[in-house]
Structure 1
Amino acid sequence: MRETGKSQLGPVANFLLAGTTGAVGRAFAHPFSVLKIQSQSGMPGGRMGTVMGAYWILRLDGVRGFFKALPVSVVRIFPQVGIQYAIFHEYAKTVKPIEKPNLNRSVKTFVAGGIAHNIATLLTHPLDVVKTRTIVCPACGDLGKSSQNWMGTLSKILSQEGIRGIYRGLVPSLIGSFIFSGTMFTAWDFMDCLPWRRRQARPFLYGEAYILSVVAVSAAAIVSQPVDVIRHKVMASSPALPNTGYTDVKTVSVFEAIARTYRINGFRGFFHGSVANVCKSVPQVTVFWIMYNKLPSLMESKRLSLGNVPLSLAKN
């Protein structure tokens, strides 16, 4: 079972460790996140591929367009990853670390990973809506200028749409997060239980564990991509916005968004932004991998405290 928490640390310490590494990783991967959301929402150039999408971001917003909504993206990912990994770690402690892959284990792992992400999504979804609106808002005109700051976007949503506005797209987000993390954790576990890895034999490839991590996250991104497309279209839409929002489907209904996506873009429309989504996995996993394995030993050696709880007291 892939380690999502350090056994020498308690729940609070594991939450902070995963949250910190996830937030730093997202900061490095954020430009790809902007490209992904641009393509998924149907913004100019987004349907023409990653290169043309990048060209249109530069044309509309300049280089800073790749860093729109970066603060809120980092703020959101910290509790999301922290909660998700801390919860899954509690499940991982109840199963054998390594055993022959089997359906029962895979189903339980999928459900545990999905539930962990759903809990995190319920708490962080408003920030996801704000991030999406900030990214897709055009840079030109008074509306764009007032909405480029994520705090301004949040204030505008609350004043014009109320609480319902910041929870727009929650249902497809819950479905997508369940599929994503269920697939990711199941793929991790399956690959870690491959015959030569169970025997702890010499790996076939240098950095095999890291490569398998990238494969697992990329697979999860592709499997959940259709739902991710729909949820971002819905989050970027609102009756309070000009033309119902900055998307190609112009609707806040999930079912209408699905139908219009197919009518406008065909089946491939459900996979717009896939390349950017997979590319996002590489820097994010790389930073996470390095920090997640180095931070605990660094903190232990310097006996840093986590909040008011020293690491020595946070141990199980």
Structure 2
Amino acid sequence: MATKKEKPLHSLIAGATAGAVEAFVTYPTEFVKTRSQFSGKRESPITIIRETLRSHGVRGLYAGCTALVVGNATKAGVRFVSYDHFKHILADEQGKVSPPRSLLAGLGAGMMEAIFAVTPSETIKTKLIDDAKRPTPQYRGLAHGTVMIVRQEGLRGIYRGLFPVMMRQGANSAIRFTTYNTLKQFVQSRTRAGSTLPTSVTFGIGAIAGLVTVYTTMPLDVIKTRMQSLGASAQYRNSFHCAYRIFTEEGLRRFWTGTTPRLVRLILSGGIVFTIYEKTIAIIGGRENPAPAS
């Protein structure tokens, strides 16, 4: 069955909407994951939540949230537009996209989102979270934090960790889109032609895609967090040096630190993003019928 092409503007709107909603709903899990990955003493998710609530209240679990919501909306918009563009370039004459080509399209989409959205927003978010655990935080919010980071470190300060982010986002999108589209095509092949999948099925397929993504890309996420922390420039020469130090000083298992909160987030994220994206595209009529094969 040929794939239907999303209109670029509508794909951008649907992706950005899905990304913003997903980021806000799942942010506390992102906060806990990021805090658990900083170097220093190991803390369980429950301990981090308890101490944050005691020290800063519920608002403490949303430190750096604005940066992620804005960044996630931009990221998801760029991701879906890029993926759709690459997917249709790589489609065969019947408009079908094989799993290997879907993997390649997802990789390209991940690289685009890493450069244009993820690295700046996640660097700022990570620094805000790292700063928030100090007795006297120096950043008063997203705008103030961004200005201070740029003033202190230059533009390089918000692009720190670009390489691991590109690797992580490329792997994330490649695995997530390929898993989602493979499962979606499998389910659609066993339903009535032309029928729309129920929301629960779309959510379930997206959740499975998130599950697969977490376990395969977790080491890249840990390296990314370390490279974007406040003291990274003094501790690590580059991403490879960071990975080497984590492995030799903290052990292999440290690369999967924060798996539980990230797992919760990406399972919810996969379900929320794909469900809202599909619903938004349907509401705004953003899907074109595929051109007939010549």
- Compute the TM-score of the two structures, normalised by the length of structure 1: 0.78
Residue 75 of structure 1 pairs with residue 75 of structure 2? no
Q: Which amino acid aligns with 2:260?
A: V
**Partners in 2 of 1:161 and 1:42 — Cα distance?**
21
Would you say the 8 A contact 2:34–2:258 is kept in 1? yes
Identity rate, percent = 20
- CA offsets, 1:100-159, max 9 Å, x none? xxxxx32221121011121121112222211110011144444x1x21412222122111
Q: What's the offset of the Cα at 1:292? A: 2.6
- Identify the residue that residue 141 of structure 2 maps to in structure 1: 149
**Are residue 200 (structure 1) and residue 191 (structure 2) matched?**
yes
Q: For 2:68 and 2:199, locate their aligned partners in 1 and report how far apart those are by CA, in whole Å.
A: 32
Say what the alpha-carbon RMSD is for the aligned residues. Answer: 3.1
Distance between the aligned counterparts of 1:283 and 1:239, measured in 2? 30
Task: State which drifts further: 182-191 or 56-65.
Answer: 56-65
Cross-structure match for 1:253: 238
Mapping of 1:7-26 within 5 angstroms?
7=5, 10-26=7-23
Q: Following superposition, which runs of at least 4 residues in structure 1 exceed 6 angstroms of deviation? A: none
* Unmatched runs of 5 consecutive residues or more in structure 2: none
Q: What does 1:213-292 align with in structure 2 at a 5 Å threshold?
A: 213-238=206-231, 244=234, 250-292=235-277
Distance 1:283 1:43 in 2: 29
Q: Give the counterpart letter for 2:262 in structure 1.
A: N
Q: Which amino acid aligns with 2:168?
A: G
Q: Which amino acid aligns with 1:77?
A: N
* Equivalent residues, number: 281
Taking a change above 3 Å as real, the CA distance of residues 2 and 217 of structure 1, as seen in their structure-2 partners, is: farther
Deviates more, 1:25-34 or 1:158-167: 158-167
Q: Distance in 1 between matches of 2:278 and 2:201?
A: 15
Q: Is the 8 A contact 2:67 2:142 kept in 1?
A: yes
> Which amino acid in the other structure matches residue 263 of structure 2?
V
Shift of 1:172: 0.7
Contact map agreement 1:2 1:192 (CA 8 A) in 2: no
Structure 2 counterpart of 1:177, from 143, 165, 169: 169
Residue deviations 1:51-82 (CA, integer Å, cap 9, x gap): 22322322443321111111111111112111
SS of match in other structure, 2:13: helix
Deviation at 1:295, TM superposition (A): 3.0
**Partners in 2 of 1:80 and 1:117 — Cα distance?**
9
The amino acid that maps onto 2:176 is: M
Query: 1:174 and 1:239 mapped to 2: Cα distance?
Result: 18
Q: What SS is found at the alignment partner of 2:243?
A: helix
Residue 223 of structure 1 aligns to a residue whose secondary structure is helix
Q: 2:175, 2:269 → 1: CA distance?
A: 17
Greater CA drift, 218-227 or 51-60: 51-60
Corresponding residue to 2:128 among 127, 130, 134: 134
Give the direction of change, closer, same or farther, for the CA distance of 1:64–1:85 in structure 2 (3 Å limit).
same
- The answer to whether the Cα contact below 8 Å between 1:61 and 1:139 also exists between their aligned partners in 2 is no
1:97–1:32: structure 2 CA closer, same or farther, 3 Å change rule?
Answer: farther
TM normalised by structure 2 equals 0.84
In the alignment, structure 1 segments of 5+ residues that lack a partner are 100-104, 245-249, 301-310
Match of 1:119 in 2: 112
Question: Does structure 2 retain, via aligned residues, the 8 Å contact 1:69–1:131?
Answer: yes
Check 1:216–1:26 CA distance in 2 against 1; reply closer, same or farther (3 A cut).
same
